[in-house]
Chains A and B, each alone.
Chain A
Amino acid sequence: MDFLYHNIHFIGAFGLMFIGLYMIAVKKNLIKKIIGLGFVETGINLFLIIIGYIKNGTAPIFSKAGLDPARMVDPVPQALVLTAIVINVAILALALGLAIRLYGHYKTLNVEKIRGLKW
């Protein structure tokens, strides 16, 4: 139980990633695959945030006196996540746009029926 208590955030992050990987691998509907992609990326963002997180931490701004640097949250992973979110938005938007076009050509989103090329 102690292990669970200390690592629950890691389990959550990797759990999200595995749910996403499962969806990409197993689901046949293209939209569900894209949602799975979103899950994987959210899991990774969560993981990055956890790396730099300190419980009851403060923002690393030296404006007020008497702030303890050891209690400051590492800002670098948060900057990384901000960048990663922007990239993910681009990827998901492009993916959904392609899915719409694909539906226009095939009238289905089932990847087993979309077989113009060899999958």
Chain B
Amino acid sequence: MVSTVWQNPVLLIVVPLGLAFFTPIIGLIRKELVKYIPILGMLFNLTLSLFLLPKVLDNPIIVSLSGWKPPFAINLFVGPVGILFSILISLVGLLTAIYGINYIKKGAVEKYHMLFLLLLTGATGIVLTGDIFNLFVFFEILCISSYALVAYNQDKNGIEAATKYLIQGSLGSAFILLGIGFLYGLFGTLNMADIARNITTVDSPALFIAMALFITGFGVEAAIFPLNAWLPDAHSSAPSTISAILSGIAIHIGIYAIFRVLYTLFGFNSIFTVLAVIGIVTLLIGEMSAFRQENIKRVLAYSSMGQMGLIIFALSIGTVDGISGGLFQIITHTLSKSLLFLCVGYMVYSTNSMELSSLNGLGKRMPLISLLFTIGVFSLIGLPPFIGFPSKLSIILAGLKTGETLFLILIVLMLLATVIEGVYFFRIIQILYFKEPDKEERFKTPFTLLFPVIILGLLIVAIGIYPGLLQEILDRSAEIFWDKLSYIKIVFGG
């Protein structure tokens, strides 16, 4: 299946991991070189993922490590969903790394870049692996590096937020490990396909406990409603590049993990209704909390929480259309929220304040950044012709297609939440454009800060105008993500 060494999907994990370990050594030789290493790694990942995408759309690739066949080896399941996530991770990682060249200057720079690469490695590993314990290990790589990166500025808020995040997050990962223990006790295997094919043979309350432990554990990272106290603090106190990565990638990885485990391993249908309701509750609470914030980064953090609710709702509809809509919304949120955090990072950097009032009249002082910020906001609210419109529309259509009263009520609540979202985001736009600035002078934006934001803005508009570019890939991904039997068949080569 894999024709040459350079097309092996393992490289998506190996190359950034290796580069991450070489970073401190290169830092010893030439300190200025360190900041280009993440760009190199992510460029490689992006190229390889884009190259692999058309291949895995037909046939997902199974990579068994060290020559053993599954279920004895750790295998990678490189399907369209994994590659789709891998493209998103490497794209946002690449753009954020370019942004970081001029943004991250003080502090332990080489450690920042090492942890940054490790975070992205962990995320890529989670979406590609087919082994439940391997998933846990990559999850811990992702979590530990993100705890450390939240505290990177070493100021009061950053350290406090990181401590909070660490305690809640590691309790969550402890639950996951306990859930893995239950599964191993029941099935004697850690391979997801092997567990999935034997799951019907066991009817035990331990199975339900394991599922609850997985949802709780991954739910901390995915910011499901009662487990998300850390999110607004961590996302608002981290450096803006890290906020972009956390909001754009890390929380989606939590959601991917929950639904990979649910769709492939357990497949209890009754849990999806509960999750759909929890999703909408998360959405409403997130948007309402965002409404009354005065700190721009906290507004964005709470808005991320709301969007997570929306994605959980879409993925819990339990039809291929719903999953396709959910994946589309993940792409929307990744692109828009990283764009917003990167724009806000520059605004905060120039004005030295995160209060909404300090943004007065910035539309005149930094016109391009403000324009791109507005694009991101419109896309999140779901206005045409930006990417948020087709994705929200497809979620609503998928919900209506089920024809159930519960989903109808939930969709009405979702639209209500969108209205709240619109109100607070339009307030920020009003502050940007219609308030008088304190000073007249314009800011000069360095090219390395401007370039990533422009690319993200262009992608948002381009996909918004031609959603057909993605629709086919998303539908195929959703089909494979949902279909448990074909997953088992592909892994065991039947």
Q: What bracket does the count of chain B residues touching chain A fall in?
A: 20 to 34
Is A6 among interface residues, defined by CB-CB distance under 8 A?
A: no
Establish whether residues A41 and B164, one from each chain, have CB atoms under 8 Å apart when the complex forms: no
What separation, in Å, do the CA atoms of A51 and B159 have in the docked complex? 38
Contacts of B188 in A (CB 8 A): 74
Partner of A80, one of B133, B147, B159, B170: B133
On whether A47 and B237 interact (CB within 8 A), knowing A37-B167, A117-B160, the answer reads no
Most buried by B among A51, A74, A84: A84
Contacts of B137 in A (CB 8 A): 83, 87
Is A114 among interface residues, defined by CB-CB distance under 8 A?
A: yes
What separation, in Å, do the CA atoms of A24 and B93 have in the docked complex? 34
On whether A98 and B163 interact (CB within 8 A), knowing A40-B171, A44-B177, A91-B144, the answer reads yes
List 8 additional contacts besides A76-B190, A91-B144, A99-B163; criterion CB under 8 Å: A37-B167, A47-B178, A80-B133, A87-B144, A91-B166, A91-B170, A95-B167, A95-B170
For the complex of A and B, the 10 pairs showing the least CB-CB separation, nearest first, are: A51-B185, A117-B233, A105-B156, A101-B159, A98-B163, A91-B170, A87-B140, A48-B181, A116-B156, A40-B174
Partner of A44, one of B147, B162, B167, B181: B181
A17–chain B nearest beta-carbon distance, Å: 8
Is A30 among interface residues, defined by CB-CB distance under 8 A?
A: yes
Partner of A116, one of B148, B154, B160: B160
Establish whether residues A94 and B154, one from each chain, have CB atoms under 8 Å apart when the complex forms: no
Query: Which residues of A are interface residues toward B (Cβ below 8 A)?
Result: 17, 21, 24, 30, 33-34, 37, 40-41, 44, 47-48, 51, 74, 76-77, 80, 83-84, 87, 90-91, 94-95, 98-99, 101-102, 105-106, 114, 116-119
Is B161 among interface residues, defined by CB-CB distance under 8 A?
A: yes
A82–chain B nearest beta-carbon distance, Å: 12
What separation, in Å, do the CA atoms of A21 and B175 have in the docked complex? 11
Is B151 among interface residues, defined by CB-CB distance under 8 A?
A: yes
Is B272 among interface residues, defined by CB-CB distance under 8 A?
A: no
Contacts of B160 in A (CB 8 A): 102, 105, 114, 116-117
What separation, in Å, do the CA atoms of A90 and B160 have in the docked complex? 18
| Chain A proximity mask over B8-43: 1 for CB below 8 Å, otherwise 0 | 000000000000000000000000000000000000
Chain A residue with Cβ nearest B233: A117
What separation, in Å, do the CA atoms of A15 and B162 have in the docked complex? 28
Query: Which residues of B are interface residues toward A (Cβ below 8 A)?
Result: 133, 137, 140, 144, 147-148, 151, 154, 156-157, 159-164, 166-167, 170-171, 173-174, 177-178, 180-181, 184-185, 188, 190, 229, 233, 237
Contacts of B177 in A (CB 8 A): 41, 44, 48, 84
Establish whether residues A37 and B170, one from each chain, have CB atoms under 8 Å apart when the complex forms: yes
Contacts of A117 in B (CB 8 A): 157, 160-161, 164, 233, 237
Secondary structure of the B side of the interface?
A: helix
A88–chain B nearest beta-carbon distance, Å: 8
Contacts of B180 in A (CB 8 A): 80
Contacts of B166 in A (CB 8 A): 91, 94-95, 98
B147–chain A nearest beta-carbon distance, Å: 6
Establish whether residues A98 and B170, one from each chain, have CB atoms under 8 Å apart when the complex forms: no
Contacts of A106 in B (CB 8 A): 156
Establish whether residues B154 and A101, one from each chain, have CB atoms under 8 Å apart when the complex forms: yes
What separation, in Å, do the CA atoms of A41 and B166 have in the docked complex? 14
Contacts of B144 in A (CB 8 A): 87, 90-91, 94
What separation, in Å, do the CA atoms of A79 and B300 have in the docked complex? 41
What separation, in Å, do the CA atoms of A66 and B133 have in the docked complex? 33
What separation, in Å, do the CA atoms of A48 and B136 have in the docked complex? 14
What separation, in Å, do the CA atoms of A37 and B190 have in the docked complex? 25
26 inter-chain pairs at a CB distance below 8 angstroms, sorted by A residue, are A17-B178, A21-B171, A30-B163, A33-B167, A44-B174, A44-B181, A51-B181, A51-B185, A74-B188, A80-B180, A83-B133, A83-B137, A84-B177, A90-B144, A91-B170, A94-B166, A95-B170, A98-B147, A98-B159, A98-B163, A98-B166, A101-B159, A105-B156, A114-B160, A117-B164, A119-B229
